């Protein structure tokens, strides 16, 4: 901890920082053209162990809870809602896949900001923030990867 603050200030700073980080990244990334998000790249493309999304169904029972996750994209002009498919055309599926990668990048980048919290948090506060960051971002990452694996399989079969 580099800066010593009262617990009230630390709490206020933590909440404010997470809101700015999460919404700032989401807003900033909606400003980038969807074509820039290459969902077939090494990091983005589904891995063989994901088994077309079945891994997430079996290990995380993702079908039970993924629809309850918020989708902040609708809050921003130009955001692309991913709660449900609005079309089955290859163009729409292609955009959907790009948007799942965009969303996943945002959530990974939010997690990568965690060291920033060591500036004003004691060690245990950093652990609390890590738990909160994982609880907020990891389910979204799982759902986005799950949907990308499933819909990439659908797109591949339709072309």
70-109 pLDDT tens trace: 887 778 777 787 777 788 788 989 999 999 999 999 999 9
Domains: count for the chain: 1
120-156 pLDDT tens trace: 999 999 999 999 999 999 999 999 999 999 988 877 7
Map tokens 């990568």 to a residue: 112
What pLDDT sits at residue 117?
A: 97
Residue numbers of the domain that contains 43: 7-158
Whether 1 maps to a domain, the answer reads no
Task: Measure the CA dihedral 20/25/26/32, to 10°.
Answer: 150
Map tokens 């990439």 to a residue: 152
- For the chain, helix (H) and strand (E) counts, in that order, are 5, 0
Whether 144 maps to a domain, the answer reads yes
Whether 2 maps to a domain, the answer reads no
Whether 34 maps to a domain, the answer reads yes
11-61 pLDDT tens trace: 999 999 999 999 999 999 999 999 999 999 999 999 999 999 999 999 999
Whether 100 maps to a domain, the answer reads yes
CA angle 53, 95, 146 (to 5 degrees): 15
């Amino acid at each position: 901890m580099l800066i010593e603050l009262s617990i009230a200030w630390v709490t206020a700073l933590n909440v404010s920082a997470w809101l700015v980080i999460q919404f700032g990244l989401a807003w900033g990334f909606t400003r980038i053209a969807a074509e820039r998000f290459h969902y077939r790249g090494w990091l983005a493309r589904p891995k063989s162990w994901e088994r077309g999304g079945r891994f997430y169904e079996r290990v995380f029972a993702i079908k039970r809870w993924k629809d309850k996750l918020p989708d902040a994209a609708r809050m921003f002009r130009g955001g692309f809602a991913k709660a449900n498919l609005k079309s089955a055309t290859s163009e729409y599926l292609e955009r959907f896949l790009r948007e799942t990668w965009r969303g996943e990048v945002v959530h990974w980048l939010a997690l990568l900001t965690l060291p920033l919290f060591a500036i004003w948090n004691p060690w245990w506060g950093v652990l609390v923030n890590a738990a909160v960051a994982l609880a907020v971002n990891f389910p979204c990452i799982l759902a986005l990867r799950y949907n990308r694996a499933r819909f990439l399989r659908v797109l591949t079969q339709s072309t």
